[in-house]
Amino acid sequence: MPEVHLREVSKRFGSIDAIEDFEIEIRNGEYICVLGPTGSGKTTLVRLIAGLLRPDEGEILIDGKVVNRVPAEERNVAYMPQQYALFSHLTVLKNVAYGPLSRGKDNETASRTAFDALKMVRLNGRAEAFPSELSGGMQQRVALARSLASGSKLLLLDEPLSALDARLRVELRYRLKSMAKSLGLTVIHVTHDQREAMIVADRIVVLRAGRCQQVGTPFHVYQRPDNLFVANFVGESNFLEGTVTRNDSTSAIVELRGGLNVVVQETSFLAGERVALMIRQESTAMTSIAESTNALPGTIQAIRFLGDSLRIEARLTNGDILGARVPVPSVEAYPKVGDEIMTSFNSADVGVYPVPARGIEREIEVA
Amino acid sequence: MVIVGPSGCGKTTFIKCLAGMVAPSEGEIYFDGRLMTDLPPEERGVGYVFQEIALFPTMSVWDNVTYGPRVRGWSSERTRRTAREFLDMIKLEAREDSYPRELSGGARQKTGVARALASGSNLILFDEPLGALDAKVRVELRYEIRNLVRDLKLTAIHITHDQEEALSIADRVVVMKAGSFVEVGTPDELYEHPKTIFGANFVGEANFLEGTVLNADGETSTIEWGEGLLLESQNASPGEGERVVAAIRPESVIVQKGNDEEGIRGFVETMDFEGETARYEVKIPGYGLFAVRIPFHRGSRPYDVGDPVVIKAPPNKVLLYPYPKEGLQKELDIESRG
């Protein structure tokens, strides 16, 4: 019944705090995604749980037992690193059956388990191939199947789908989650792809520069990001900066540069305070006439076709830029760069945050 | 132009033929009317950007970007002006003295692009240029590259396995499968009216229904599928009595709660919250699971697992294809080779 607790875990490499003061309680059977940009400490975190690194501070508990001093091979964890290695002299099936066989399962059971895992990653047709005959993406899937078949109930997956084509990646993430649930596995899945995290996770941990930014269900993290970094990293958002000019406890007004005003329903900031506003791109509409509480005029400066939607960027009269994600319009209603437009959004859809010390841009910077 | 296709479809081999790194077994390649076949890569005037950008690690950003011009013997004035222009365009002027190891993945990639562009080529070949980057960075950088290429009026051939990337920046998209060009079109044409089942499946998502054409009067066709279900389409159709495959994109349908409306009836089996949208799989008796995608508004939770719903597919959004000779599954296979 793998439950994993991390209590105030820190890990340093020289002067770099790779993981700082990390705290989480992962329940038995839970699917956790650790989400963050490259370099945020995600790999360090899984290596700590796997036992390949020892924390400088804090405790790691698996099933209520402190495992800081327990070596990796005795932790009963299946760890799939980003640099995985398959046995080149064994067939795909034998690679995947290796785990169950070494745990004492008989040949038939081990092969059956291996075959089921290969079906999940859609490679049951290549069971007799050797790793060298497969593409990079296929090899990654074999490594994933090997983790699933290992017999361990706690899986640590470090970017398990990164080598796959976009299309296949989308397909496999659904299967991965349902397989983990049907096997009753506790999974810690590391990724930089927020869409992937949204789909597979029971809860998401957003990590940045070694520190936890927010933990919550995908729904919660998406609807109520705790800070600007999370608001930018998960989903697509617009950010505007302004000063609160009025607050009458049911709504407030924020004045942007150039005198543009935005009505918000967040009333915890006082008049005179500088704030950062966050509006999701799908909550922003681009229309010919004002349609909501807030309607700021602008000019279309870019239109991107995304297949199932358009992303329209408009420059407001004060120079600020707003992006909107809208359904693809009919040919007659198709907008053009240079069109005058009204960007509309409801006051209830505006998130209000304190302006960070180093400014909005540096705070949300991912690369 | 963006070439999109599954791993192993031949896109990298194609690019290498254009670059001169691989010789074609048959056929000729012309750039501006000039035959390229016997010219080695360095004489083709092509810039090449790889997935794993190999910047010279012992050279600063500035030295990396000016490498091409210096090697070509440009005057120091012209070299300096060009490098300054490019670094300005990719917004890395403040980092010109930094070394590659001090830069983020995105900044390194931009430097690699600037290096390829600064060498003066009019044709740039991008080989999965964003593959090694984080998802968010990929999205931001693809527009930057696109704008750079457009502002410089260059010709670019860009290969990727990411269809969203292809749709968002291409003038035209080529879909490749197992060594062949399967479809060519603008992003809009390819998404709204793919000419092949493979194209419809590889670019975007689609539900595929097998049926028979009951009647086709030139404007509207009626298809029978599943257990006696009917579907209308206003698109080009095989003839009456022919077996057909209908493709319907998940976001193109209208979904209503209940079961007393006209349309495809089923029960919600799964729900996936995607952020700005929610994806549902609806179980349709006699067919299987039909995927629908609807915008998800703050606070709303329109359907629960088990709810009865009715799906309506607008006839102009129902695409029709003759039933493939080798079966539907083979056509839908997005893995072309091992």
Cα separation, A277 vs A264, in Å, equals: 9
Task: Please list, in sequence order, all residues whose beta carbon lies within 8 angstroms of the beta carbon of residue A338, skipping any fewer than 6 positions away.
Answer: A299, A300
A234 touches chain B (CB under 8 A): yes
- The shortest CB-CB distance from A307 to any of B164, B276, B298 is to B164
Task: Verify that A187 and A276 share a domain, yes or no.
Answer: no
CB contact (8 A) between residue A305 and residue B188: yes
- Band of pLDDT at residue B299, cut at 50, 70 and 90: low
Supply the pLDDT for residue A77. 94
Contact yes or no for A344/A290 (Cβ under 8 A): yes
A186, A202, A229 — which closes off a domain? A229
Portions of chain B given CATH number 2.40.50.140: 207-326
B33 CA: distance to closest CA in chain A (Å): 32
Q: What is the CATH number of the domain that holds A12?
A: 3.40.50.300
3-state helix, strand, coil in chain B (%, to 5): 30, 30, 40
Task: Map tokens 């005198």 to a residue.
Answer: A259
Q: What is the pLDDT of residues A77-126, one digit of tens each?
A: 999 998 888 999 999 999 999 999 988 899 999 999 999 999 989 899 99
CB contact (8 A) between residue B338 and residue A219: no
- The shortest CB-CB distance from B273 to any of A218, A306, A366 is to A218
Supply the pLDDT for residue A137. 87
Phi/psi class of residue A286: alpha, beta or left (left: φ > 0; alpha: ψ in -120 to 50)? beta
Cα separation, A139 vs B146, in Å, equals: 32
Q: What is the 3-state secondary structure (H, E, C) of A36-91?
A: CCCCCCHHHHHHHHHCCCCCCEEEEEECCEECCCCCHHHCCEEEECCCCCCCCCCC
Supply the pLDDT for residue B298. 66
B82 CA: distance to closest CA in chain A (Å): 25
Q: Which of A300, A79, A279 is nearest to A189 (CA)?
A: A79
A245 CA: distance to closest CA in chain B (Å): 26
SS3 A347: helix
Residue A131 within a domain: yes
Task: Verify that A332 and A257 share a domain, yes or no.
Answer: yes
Q: What is the pLDDT of residues A7-45, one digit of tens each?
A: 999 999 988 889 999 999 999 999 999 999 988 999 999
DSSP B7-55: TTSSHHHHHHHHHTSS--SS---EETTEE-TT--GGGTTEEEE-SS---
User: Which H or E run includes B174?
Assistant: strand B173-177
Cα separation, A38 vs B113, in Å, equals: 20
A182, A209, A229 — which closes off a domain? A229
Contact yes or no for A193/A207 (Cβ under 8 A): no
A184, A209, A229 — which closes off a domain? A229
Paired with B290 in beta bridges are B282
Cα separation, B88 vs B257, in Å, equals: 54
CB contact (8 A) between residue B275 and residue A198: yes
- The shortest CB-CB distance from A195 to any of B104, B251, B274 is to B274
CB contact (8 A) between residue A192 and residue B134: yes
Q: What residues of chain B lie within 8 A of the CB of A219, using their CB?
A: 273
A240 burial type by CB count under 10 A (0-12 exposed, 13-18 middle, 19+ buried): buried
Cα separation, B115 vs B238, in Å, equals: 51
A202 touches chain B (CB under 8 A): no
A138 touches chain B (CB under 8 A): yes
Cα separation, A37 vs A206, in Å, equals: 9
Task: Verify that A77 and A133 share a domain, yes or no.
Answer: yes
Output the CA–CA distances (angstroms, integers) from residue A113 to A116, A125, A149, in the order listed.
5, 15, 6
* Top CATH class, B207-326: mainly beta
Task: Verify that A249 and A223 share a domain, yes or no.
Answer: no
Q: What is the 3-state secondary structure (H, E, C) of B101-146?
A: HHCCHHHHHHHHHHHHHHCCCCEEEEECCCCCCCHHHHHHHHHHHH
If one counts the domains in chain A, the total is 2
Which comes out higher in pLDDT, residue B2 or B296? B2
Contact yes or no for A23/A214 (Cβ under 8 A): no
Supply the pLDDT for residue B38. 84
How many Cα atoms occupy the beta-carbon half-sphere of A43 within 13 Å? Answer: 9
- For residue A58, the one-letter residue type is G
Cα separation, A107 vs A312, in Å, equals: 58
- The shortest CB-CB distance from B163 to any of A166, A233, A234 is to A166
Q: Is the pLDDT of residue B28 over 80?
A: yes
Q: What's the CATH number of domain B2-192, 2.60.40.10, 3.10.310.30, 3.40.50.300, 3.30.930.10?
A: 3.40.50.300
Exposure string over A260-281, b if 16+ CB within 10 A, otherwise e:
bebbbebeebeeebebbbbbbb
Exposure string over A170-200, b if 16+ CB within 10 A, otherwise e:
eebbeebbebbeebebbbbbbbbbbbbbbbb
B23 CA: distance to closest CA in chain A (Å): 23
Q: What is the pLDDT of residues B80-113, one digit of tens each?
A: 988 888 888 888 888 899 999 888 888 888 898 8
Q: What residues of chain B lie within 8 A of the CB of A135, using their CB?
A: 7-8, 337-338
User: Which H or E run includes B71?
Assistant: helix B61-71
- The shortest CB-CB distance from B7 to any of A135, A348, A349 is to A135
Q: Find, in chain B, the residue whose alpha carbon is nearest to that of A346.
A: B298
CB contact (8 A) between residue A38 and residue B134: yes
Task: Map tokens 């349908």 to a residue.
Answer: B253
ipTM: 0.84
- The shortest CB-CB distance from B298 to any of A135, A234, A283 is to A283
B32 CA: distance to closest CA in chain A (Å): 30
A305 touches chain B (CB under 8 A): yes
Paired with A237 in beta bridges are A280
A302 burial type by CB count under 10 A (0-12 exposed, 13-18 middle, 19+ buried): middle
Task: Verify that A196 and A276 share a domain, yes or no.
Answer: no
Residue A364 within a domain: no
A/B interface, count of CB pairs below 8 Å? 121
Task: Verify that A142 and A279 share a domain, yes or no.
Answer: no
Task: Verify that A346 and A245 share a domain, yes or no.
Answer: yes
DSSP label of B172: S
User: Quick one: what percent of chain B has pLDDT higher than 70?
Assistant: 98
Task: Verify that A192 and A285 share a domain, yes or no.
Answer: no
Contact yes or no for A301/A275 (Cβ under 8 A): no
Residue A349 CA to its chain's centroid (Å):
22
User: Quick one: what percent of chain B has pLDDT higher than 90?
Assistant: 53
Q: Find, in chain B, the residue whose alpha carbon is nearest to that of A310.
A: B168
Q: What is the pLDDT of residues A190-210, one digit of tens each?
A: 999 999 999 999 999 999 999
A149 touches chain B (CB under 8 A): no
Task: Verify that A20 and A153 share a domain, yes or no.
Answer: yes
CB contact (8 A) between residue B273 and residue A222: yes
Structural domain harbouring A270? 236-358
CB contact (8 A) between residue B161 and residue A165: yes
Q: What is the pLDDT of residues A251-307, one digit of tens each?
A: 999 999 999 999 999 889 999 999 999 999 999 999 887 778 899 999 999 999 999
- The shortest CB-CB distance from A305 to any of B6, B140, B167 is to B167
- Strand B254-257 with B308-312, pairing: antiparallel
Supply the pLDDT for residue B336. 54
Residue A363 within a domain: no
User: Quick one: what percent of chain A has pLDDT higher than 70?
Assistant: 99
Task: Verify that A242 and A167 share a domain, yes or no.
Answer: no
- The shortest CB-CB distance from B251 to any of A122, A170, A308 is to A308
- Band of pLDDT at residue B338, cut at 50, 70 and 90: very low
The mean per-residue pLDDT over the stretch A149-175 comes to 91
Q: What is the pLDDT of residues B226-242, one digit of tens each?
A: 888 999 999 988 889 99
Kindly report the backbone phi and psi dihedral angles of residue B73, in degrees, each rounded to the nearest multiple of 5, phi listed first: 75, 25
A28 CA: distance to closest CA in chain B (Å): 22
Q: What residues of chain A lie within 8 A of the CB of B276, using their CB?
A: 235-236, 280-282, 325
Output the CA–CA distances (angstroms, integers) from residue A96 to A107, A115, A156, A168, in the order listed.
12, 8, 16, 20
Cα separation, A147 vs A155, in Å, equals: 7
Residue A130 within a domain: yes
User: Which H or E run includes A238?
Assistant: strand A237-247
Average pLDDT, chain A: 92
- Band of pLDDT at residue B59, cut at 50, 70 and 90: very high
